Structure 1
């Protein structure tokens, strides 16, 4: 398919990358609302497929899109920090949970990447894939930086991160119901630790308190992983 040179020039404009990302998310969110907020149609997942499809059928190069969307990657970190606002309103929910929650998050930050490495190794993944899998439970803006620092494939690491979040948000609530876990504080801590940003969004759909604690555990998991994963990488590779 051939395109007019003027259109190709627009496709290479950095702001156009931002535009199609926001448009893809908005269309994904509309589809998410349309199906009754089913997690399998999460706007992050649906929007990603829409943007990938657009890049596939146009002359736009992935590297061009990646460079143009750097601004959004920067603001992802800012948005993550903004989760401190609902957390401040729900600080009282942490009473009696600080020590056990901290231990749970630290242990999960070590076990999760090791389990991912184990499965990838069993299925014959090469070193780059194994390294990329290590960031699967770290929220996207942090996973992006960690994957670059330890030699992973950033695109693969980001895709695995989104997939992990969607699966965690999809399976989390049914598992909570199955095991009889009704405390929304614990639900939030688990969703944030294991399903990061997508899980945090799902947590806010359960309750504000659940979402606030999910945001807290997501941030702590990312911080712990930023220290643990490079050290783990140096030991294993």
Structure 2
């Protein structure tokens, strides 16, 4: 019975995602984005069939283990364009450090301002990095990893929708700027969107996402404890 649940959960998740991706590829409308449409469809299916989430997650959790290898796979385009990355090392490093610091501080201050609970605040802080890293950081600093995953997904979807609009609005033309912006602001979703624009944009988005994860880990253990002691404790 357990094997049937595992196989069924994986197949349902796969076909829902596959259908969402096909729809997005055809119409290019943000509502069909797999990150947005897939969870909605899965929630409806579980609700209508009255299958408990815990039962579904018994099988679907194995798919979440692929997040780590998927993140590492972004190193492939980085390796192919390593000469360009070396050429723009300073601007990449500066923009990612500043972007990561702003993401942490702004998330924290906004959460304190609207009087969120300490656990929600610590869950919100690592929202601007890729899911597997964000969940680990959240757990370490006292947050709720599952809530952090939700915040990461919301951030990714919002950034991947608003990012291209901001690029057009401010007439950003450099591939480096487009890629770094999308990778920093919306991690995996933004990187996927960047590759739709171009390979070079996707490469820099990959670099931004991976570098942002490293920088955020450092800042989460340095800047965040100070803010936490001053404004929460």
Q: TM-score range by the shorter chain?
A: 0.7 to 0.9
Query: Higher mean Cα deviation, 79-88 or 214-223?
Result: 79-88
TM-score, structure 1 normalization: 0.86
Aligned counterpart, 1:138 = 129
Give CA-to-partner distance per residue, 1:155-174, whole Å, 9 cap, x none.
Answer: 22111111111111111122
Residue 44 of structure 2 corresponds to residue 32 of structure 1: no
Gaps of 5+ in 1: 1-8
Cα distance change of structure 1 residues 92 and 38 upon mapping to structure 2, 3 Å threshold: farther
For the pair 1:105 / 2:96, whether they are aligned, the reply is: yes
In angstroms, what is the RMSD of aligned CA positions? 2.1
Shift of 1:51: 1.7
Number of residue equivalences: 228
Q: How does 1:1-237 map to 2 (within 5 A)?
A: 9=1, 13-34=5-26, 36-235=27-226, 236=228, 237=232
The more displaced of 105-114 and 140-149 is 140-149
After TM superposition, give the deviation of residue 226 of structure 1 in Å.
2.2
Q: Shift of the alpha carbon at 1:100?
A: 1.8
Q: Is the CA contact (8 Å cut-off) linking 2:5 and 2:58 kept in structure 1?
A: no
**Are the equivalent residues in 2 in contact too, given 1:105–1:221 (CA < 8 A)?**
yes
2:126 counterpart SS class: coil
Structure 1 residue 137, shift from structure 2 partner:
0.5
CA apart distance, 1:192: 0.6
The offset of 1:10, in angstroms, is 6.2
Alignment partners' CA distance in 2, 1:63 and 1:147: 22
Q: Structure 2 regions of 5+ residues with no counterpart?
A: none
Is this contact kept in 2: 1:138–1:225, CA < 8 A? Answer: yes
SS in structure 1 opposite 2:127? coil
| Deviating 4+ runs (over 4 angstroms) | 9-12
| In 2: Cα distance, 1:128 partner to 1:198 partner | 25
Give the Cα separation in 2 of the matches to 1:136 and 1:123: 17
Q: Normalising by structure 2, what TM-score?
A: 0.88
